[in-house]
Structure 1
Amino acid sequence: MEKKAAILDLIPEQGILPLYFYKDTNVSIGVLKALYEAGIRAVEYTNRGAAALTNFKEMRKVCDTELKGMYLGIGTIKNADMAKTFIDAGADYIIS
């Protein structure tokens, strides 16, 4: 519950919840880093392409090693299996 409360407090504080998808992993990571440098600490990556899961896993690694305090969520989740897959990949939160 502590993480959930932190995320629910953080989103209104930052005033925006950026969301995006891009097929290239390096671009996806670059956008994530730019958002972090701009002060954003919660981002929704969208499950809109074949590369989404692979990119998400790489982005999770970057969050864990370089972007302390960044919450990485996943959106466009349409069923329980998809949710489990991204939870297992380290999603901090799920948006349908």
Structure 2
Amino acid sequence: MNFNSQQIIDQMTQSGMIPVFNHQDILVAQKVLDVAYHAGVRVFEFTNREFNAFEVFKELKLYAEKYPDLLLGIGTIFTAEDAQKFHLIGADFIVSPALVPELAQYCQMKGIFWIPGCATVTEVYAAKSLGASLIKAFPGNLLGPAFIKAVLSVIPDVKMMPTGGVEPNHQNLKAWFDAGVSCVGMGSQLFDKKAIENGDFSLLEARIKEILNIIQSF
């Protein structure tokens, strides 16, 4: 299923939380995707961080066809070349840790939904000017909710998503959403490595459900 930009924004806002995950083993990636979906996740970001990320994502995208309402995107993209590679195998959206004009121009030209990483008001404004509909506040743990408030006070129509350091607890999540974020990205704080290594996926599913329930309560 192809999603337009508004549908992607709506899905991300409704979900409230986007898991950010990578693994070298396709079977582990499939299992994590399954439990995330069953817990209520409808937007999932796989990151281009491992040596075989392209191959794993390609298989994961085929596997995810059984979930027609799931958006599966690729993160940690810095170049137009990588964006093209992953878009051709079905990435629903592109996420970058940085604001890269070359990447922005390519995604705009091809009609690909892209999310740039920004850490200053200048970068946020530049990203918005380049056509970004959603901005990744990164690294979130260094910027904090106060950064979101500051950005929205001068650019009120921009949508923000902090990633990096967002904590899986009511107090931290409430601080972000009270500041005005549209959704949050969660990686290492969400995925317990030991639980995954031990195959305790029921624990992971319960954890994701709990976080989604907290977010829905705001």
> TM-score surpassing 0.5?
yes
Query: Partners in 2 of 1:80 and 1:5 — Cα distance?
Result: 23
Letter in 1 for 2:73: G
| Residue 29 (structure 2) pairs with residue 28 (structure 1) | yes
Q: Is the 8 A contact 1:21 1:48 kept in 2?
A: yes
SS at 2:18 equivalent:
coil
Q: Give the match for residue 18 of structure 2.
A: 17
Q: Please give the residue correspondences for 1:3-82 in structure 2 after superposition, counting only pairs within 5 Å.
A: 3-64=4-65, 66-82=66-82
SS at 1:90 equivalent:
coil
Q: Using a 3 Å threshold, how does the CA distance of structure 1 residues 90 and 2 change in structure 2: closer, same or farther?
A: closer
Q: Give the match for residue 182 of structure 2.
A: none
* Superposed displacement of residue 54, structure 1: 0.7
Q: Is the 8 A contact 1:19 1:46 kept in 2?
A: yes
* Superposed displacement of residue 2, structure 1: 5.0
Q: Is the 8 A contact 1:33 1:67 kept in 2?
A: no
* Superposed displacement of residue 63, structure 1: 1.4
Question: RCO greater where, 1 or 2, for CA within 8 Å and sep 6 or more?
Answer: 1
Query: Partners in 2 of 1:30 and 1:83 — Cα distance?
Result: 25
Structure 2 residues without counterparts, runs of 5 or longer: 97-218
| CA RMSD, 1 decimal | 1.3
Q: Is the 8 A contact 2:3 2:92 kept in 1?
A: no
Deviations 1:3-62 (Å, cap 9, x if unpaired)? 221110111211101111011110011101111111111101000011211111111111
SS at 2:4 equivalent:
helix
Query: Partners in 1 of 2:69 and 2:43 — Cα distance?
Result: 9
Q: Give the match for residue 170 of structure 2.
A: none
Letter in 2 for 1:85: K
Q: Please give the residue correspondences for 1:81-96 in structure 2 after superposition, counting only pairs within 5 Å.
A: 81-96=81-96
Query: Partners in 1 of 2:39 and 2:4 — Cα distance?
Result: 22
Letter in 1 for 2:77: I
Query: Partners in 2 of 1:62 and 1:94 — Cα distance?
Result: 19
Q: Using a 3 Å threshold, how does the CA distance of structure 1 residues 80 and 48 change in structure 2: closer, same or farther?
A: same
